[in-house]
Amino acid sequence: MDDRSDPRQRLARLSDPRPALIVGTSAWAVAVVVVIVTGEKWSEALPICLAGIAVGALGYGLFRLQRRAALRGDRGAQQGLV
């Protein structure tokens, strides 16, 4: 059965937060490299880029904790992550 015929598969693929977390964190990592390469011109942006990477890592960590709790069947776990 392909994704077009089963709306549940399509919804699961679209509601998965991992691609957004990976793309967003990667974009901030690229921004850090650009800021470092350009030197003094964009030096004020470096803390913002590093904060973006930290927020992405925190978001992914929280996602993993919730998914682990959902897989264990914990009562307080977020639904729909499995």
Give the DSSP per-residue string, 70-82: HHHT-TTSPTT--
What number is the average pLDDT over the span 7-33?
A: 86
Q: Residue 26's CB: how many other CB atoms inside 10 A?
A: 12
pLDDT tens track for 45-61 = 999 999 999 999 999 99
CA atoms within 13 A on the CB side of 59: 16
Cβ within 8 Å of residue 74, ≥6 positions away: none
Q: Where are the domains positioned within the chain?
A: 16-72
What number is the average pLDDT over the span 36-50?
A: 91
Round to whole Å and give the CA distance between 21 and 59: 7
Of the pLDDT bands very low, low, confident and very high (cuts 50, 70, 90), residue 24 is very high
User: Residue 76's pLDDT is what?
Assistant: 76
Name the pTM for this structure. Answer: 0.73
